């Protein structure tokens, strides 16, 4: 239909209408208050980006706020300073877009804001509705199922991308821990917390729908919504599993880092021990050599006896060095037995 008035006029002939609003203004949404009975508070929720998924019943319609996930893995090329080559940087970010739905007796309204990186989302959504035309013609509740089912199926791609990234991080920790950055785990943990928060509230929405809380969703169509609930329950369990995996990977990273530091400390201790052994052996010899190298030794033995006194002095130094070596070696071997 070319405009809202034409759609409302066609509605008098029977059936129902599907209205799609992309980034609408307050005036555009306010025009629905009188003909469709949309509550002004629901319009405020559509214009507020800080809302959580929820379902609210009004006299003429049921308002459902749902979330759509988009995981951006675009690649940014950055020129390295002083080099003609370009370095590829992966900028990964999770976007959670809000989709607002109004379902009444003879209408379904979809309001969307900020479809990040997915300009063709609405086109594909209309194609999905066209492929299931037989069910869509049964009523707005069946069309609501097609929309929600497609949104939930798209969540799987985001969760799958996070799983693949976790597998890569696990491999990097095991193979190249020195180049691993812990902030990658913290980033994924933040994303999973956002997913868990959204899916938790969306499960509650499906519980209320399956409980027949909305008078505009017929009992026959509820069986379709139960399938959506099963998918959300599965996704919720997967987010819990991945959160546990992140905690386990962080513990593994810290444990392997501590082991590397302990190994380096042991090597340092071994080097220091060897240097201490060498220093302890040669320190008294240096003292004796310093004394004997001056005139004190000649004064004690007499200058005429230097042919005999200096060889004796060298022999004494060798004996002292050997004694120091074996004594220190025994002490060090005893320390190693105690450490073991």
Computed over every residue of the chain, the mean pLDDT equals 81
Q: How confident is the model at residue 118 (pLDDT cuts 50, 70, 90)?
A: low
Rounded to an integer, what is the distance from CA 37 to the centroid of its chain?
42
Pick from 115, 144, 112: nearest CA to 128:
144
Query: Tens of pLDDT along 272-294?
Result: 877 777 777 677 767 666 665 55
In the predicted model, is pLDDT for residue 335 greater than 60? no
Query: Tens of pLDDT along 119-128?
Result: 677 888 888 8
Q: pLDDT value at position 80?
A: 42
How many whole angstroms separate alpha carbon 265 and alpha carbon 267? Answer: 5
More confident residue, 339 or 19: 19
From the CB of residue 53, how many other CB atoms can be counted at a distance below 10 Å? 20
More confident residue, 41 or 312: 41
Share of the chain above pLDDT 90, in %: 26
In the chain, what are the domain boundaries?
A: 4-260, 270-339
Q: How confident is the model at residue 53 (pLDDT cuts 50, 70, 90)?
A: very high
Residue holding tokens 């097609």?
A: 146
Pick from 28, 208, 33, 17: nearest CA to 109:
17
Q: pLDDT value at position 78?
A: 43
- CA gyration radius, the chain: 39
What is the second-level CATH architecture of the domain 4-260?
A: 2-Layer Sandwich (3.30)
How many whole angstroms separate alpha carbon 78 and alpha carbon 86? Answer: 5
In the predicted model, is pLDDT for residue 77 greater than 70? no
From the CB of residue 149, how many other CB atoms can be counted at a distance below 10 Å? 17
Q: pLDDT value at position 294?
A: 56
How many whole angstroms separate alpha carbon 222 and alpha carbon 251? Answer: 44
Contacts of residue 142, defined as CB under 8 A and 6 or more positions apart, other chains included, come to 135, 136, 221, 224
From the CB of residue 31, how many other CB atoms can be counted at a distance below 10 Å? 15
DSSP string, 88-156: EEEEEEEEEEEEEEEEESSEEEEEE---TT-TTHHHHHHHHHHHTHHHHTT-HHHHHHHHHHHHHHHHH
More confident residue, 256 or 228: 228
Q: pLDDT value at position 293?
A: 59
How many whole angstroms separate alpha carbon 138 and alpha carbon 15? Answer: 9
Average pLDDT over every residue of 286-308 = 63
The answer to pTM > 0.85 is no
Average pLDDT over every residue of 214-227 = 90
């Amino acid at each position: 239909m070319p405009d809202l008035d034409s759609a409302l006029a066609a509605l008098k002939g029977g059936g129902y209408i599907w209205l799609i609003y992309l980034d609408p203004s307050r005036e555009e949404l306010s025009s629905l208050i009188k003909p469709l009975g949309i509550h002004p508070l629901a319009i405020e929720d559509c214009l507020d980006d800080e809302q959580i998924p929820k379902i609210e019943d009004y006299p003429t319609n049921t308002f459902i706020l749902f979330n759509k996930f988009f995981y951006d893995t675009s690649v940014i090329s950055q020129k390295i300073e002083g080099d003609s080559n370009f370095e590829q940087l992966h900028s990964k970010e999770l976007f959670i877009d809000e989709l607002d739905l109004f379902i009444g007796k003879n209408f379904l309204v979809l309001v969307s804001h900020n479809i990040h990186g997915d300009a063709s989302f609405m086109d594909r959504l209309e194609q999905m509705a066209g492929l299931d035309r037989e069910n869509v013609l049964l009523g707005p509740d069946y069309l609501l199922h097609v929309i929600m089912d497609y949104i939930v199926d798209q969540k799987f791609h985001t969760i799958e991308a996070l799983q693949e990234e976790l597998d890569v991080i696990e491999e990097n920790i095991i193979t190249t821990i020195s180049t691993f950055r812990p902030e990658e785990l913290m980033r994924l943990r933040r994303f999973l917390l956002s997913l868990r928060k959204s899916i938790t509230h969306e499960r509650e929405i499906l519980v209320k729908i399956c409980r027949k809380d909305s008078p505009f969703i017929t009992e026959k169509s509820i069986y379709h919504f139960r399938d959506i609930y099963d998918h959300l329950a599965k996704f919720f369990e997967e987010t819990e599993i991945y959160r546990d995996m992140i905690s386990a990977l962080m513990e593994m990273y810290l444990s392997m880092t501590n082991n590397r530091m302990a190994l380096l400390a042991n090597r340092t201790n071994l080097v220091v021990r060897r240097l201490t052994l060498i220093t302890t052996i040669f320190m008294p010899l240096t003292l004796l050599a310093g004394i004997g190298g001056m005139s004190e030794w000649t004064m004690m033995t007499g200058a005429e006896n230097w042919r005999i006194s200096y060889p004796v002095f060298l022999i004494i130094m060798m004996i002292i060095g050997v004694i120091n070596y074996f004594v220190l070696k025994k002490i060090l071997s005893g320390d190693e037995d105690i450490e073991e």
